Chains A and B, each alone.
Chain A
Amino acid sequence: MTVPTAQLSHLHRADGSATYSQAGYSVVGAVNGPIEVQRRDELPEEAAIEVNIRPAIGVGSTKERHLESILHSTLRHVILIHNYPRTLIQITLQIISTPEDEAAFGKHSSLSVLPSLLQTSILALLSASIPLAMTFASTVIAVMPSGKLETNPSVKSLAQASSVHVFAFSSTGHLLVVESEGSFDMDTWDSACAEAESICCSPKEDGDQMDDDASSENLQTFLKQAMEKKVERDLRWKQQS
């Protein structure tokens, strides 16, 4: 299992920024907003959201546009856009590294990078203190031909998998994003969805015996820990030496 790492507010000229790395992917995100919007993009009742995704190599293509549109519709639901009418919230995501053997396998699939992009965007938005209705966490699950579910699949198992599923769950426990492709039936999808839910959502409060392993694997907890670390650093000046 690859442990995700995150670094928040490390770019000084953006309102908020984050770097998130997992499973060979590393993405830098910067958020600016609410800022002035171009007349043509201005929306009278809500903030316009602009998502820019830059690939690790070359210029963006249709694949990046598709990912941008997924992120855009998700973030529109998450950010309290109606609090900032006639402004712009700009999110720029630069993929800085991809798994080494990616070119050899699924170079056409856009799914494996999507969780990292979603995670980076929410961390960067939190770092920019943009008011949000909820946070979310996202993960990818591969279903192998044997029927086994693989969490955090490697590039090789993504290529061999019979179906690949990306899920994002909100902090309120709702299913926000699904991107599944391959060949599968409803029961497979259901079990993959349940597995993703256990990874993304914080465990139900059922007693105090929280497993240490379980909490470290949990992405909602991870998000909380990353934020705690940032707040702790921000309030350093208050601490007595």
Chain B
Amino acid sequence: MSAPATVTTAPVLSFPPPIFAKLSPSPFLLAHLKPSASNTPAIRPNGRVPSEHRTPTINTNSLTHGSGSAVVRVGDTAVVCGVRGELLLASNIPHPRRDNADRSDTEISDLGLLVPNLELSTGCSPAHLPSNAPGTLAQSLSQRVLSLLQKSDLVSLQDLEILYRPPVTDPDMPDETPETVVKAYLGLYIDILFISLDGNPFDAAWLAVVAALRDTRLPQAWWDADREMILCSDSVRESRKLSTRCTPIASTFAIYMPGTVQQRRSSQESWMLADPDGFEEELCDETVTIVLDCSKGNTSGILKVEKNGGGTVGRALMRRMLSEAERKWHDWSSALEVTDAV
């Protein structure tokens, strides 16, 4: 008559967090950002608060065969960037410059002296199959790096020109000093390889480009009039450092909106996630990228703003993002300074 002694409790259906994240990623992220207990702060699954970015680790000069290189690691995103110089003879340029007046600001882009290429097909993430042709994302990132290189004036043309001043031939006319001519240019191939991709490829790739260019040493090169060719010196001591004129840092933000599409249209609830990782990036449609250069004084010089994928970010939120981006600029640029000092 008595009940069995052993009381069997109904098994509670519970998952460990990784399985919860895989099964229903969006509610998992929402549970982190909007904790049920009011005194718990909102912390993303990766342990950061929403406006917190990852701290980069930068190693420069690790490749032996390039003019400059950098390995940048931001969380689980790791990028290698190598810079290699190649000569472009002025005589090989099909349409020589018409005038010397205001060429310098567009010369680098007109001649294509900076050639970035970004490679994602290295097995860096399951979404990008190794040894495939570059996909839309890789091509789009290459284009963004290229246009930023051209617009930011990071590299000055003077560093890439190889000048030649012909000797005075006629001793009778000492007044006539011969004009300095550009005999060749150094084109820079900037190759960016992703070893591992865990969200936010553009910020990491751009930091790697800046770090690699700051590390670049170009060989002493001169025009040899007798041999009619460009000669380069082997000596490292004679090589000169490429000067970078500014320190642009990119900051990407993703906007997370919970719920289904229908719910999203009605509700205004959204979170700004700075420096999203791969898991968050999959759940966010809208992204904003701001490229800043605060190195010239304290005024924030914006070099680029890109935003697409949704309509949440208005002018007010953009200002908030800018102040976050400024904070990130100080953190990341000091990481670059530390690397230079080593």
On A, residues with C-beta under 8 Å from B are 62-63, 65-66, 68-70, 73-74, 76-77, 82, 108-110, 133, 165, 170, 172, 174-186, 189-190, 193-194
Contacts and interface: CB of A to CB of B under 8 A. Distances in A.
B178 to A, nearest CB: 31
A179 B299 contact: no
Interface residues of B, number: 38
Contact of B142 (A62, A181, A183, A184): A62
14 contacts: A62-B143, A63-B143, A66-B139, A68-B140, A73-B309, A82-B261, A110-B143, A174-B311, A175-B307, A177-B307, A178-B288, A181-B304, A182-B303, A186-B302
B319 A62 contact: no
A170 B19 CA distance: 38
Contacts of A194: 315
Contacts, number: 96
Contact of A68 (B136, B286, B299, B305): B136
B144 interface: yes
B146 A62 contact: yes
Interface of B: 109, 136-137, 139-140, 142-144, 146-148, 150-151, 261, 265, 285-286, 288, 299-315, 318-319, 322
Contact of B109 (A108, A180, A181): A108
A65 B147 contact: no
* Shortest 8 CB-CB contacts between residues of A and residues of B: A174-B311, A65-B139, A66-B143, A178-B307, A73-B309, A180-B305, A62-B143, A66-B140
A183 B261 CA distance: 37
Contacts of A181: 147-148, 151, 303-304
Contacts of A66: 139-140, 143-144
Given A65-B136, A66-B144, A183-B301, A76 B309 contact: yes
B139 A133 contact: no
Nearest to B287: A73
Nearest to B323: A186
Contact of B147 (A74, A108, A165): A108
Contacts of A76: 285, 309
B306 A179 contact: yes
A68 B308 CA distance: 12
Nearest to A193: B315
Given A62-B139, A110-B143, A73 B150 contact: no
B140 A172 contact: no
B140 A65 contact: yes
A18 to B, nearest CB: 21
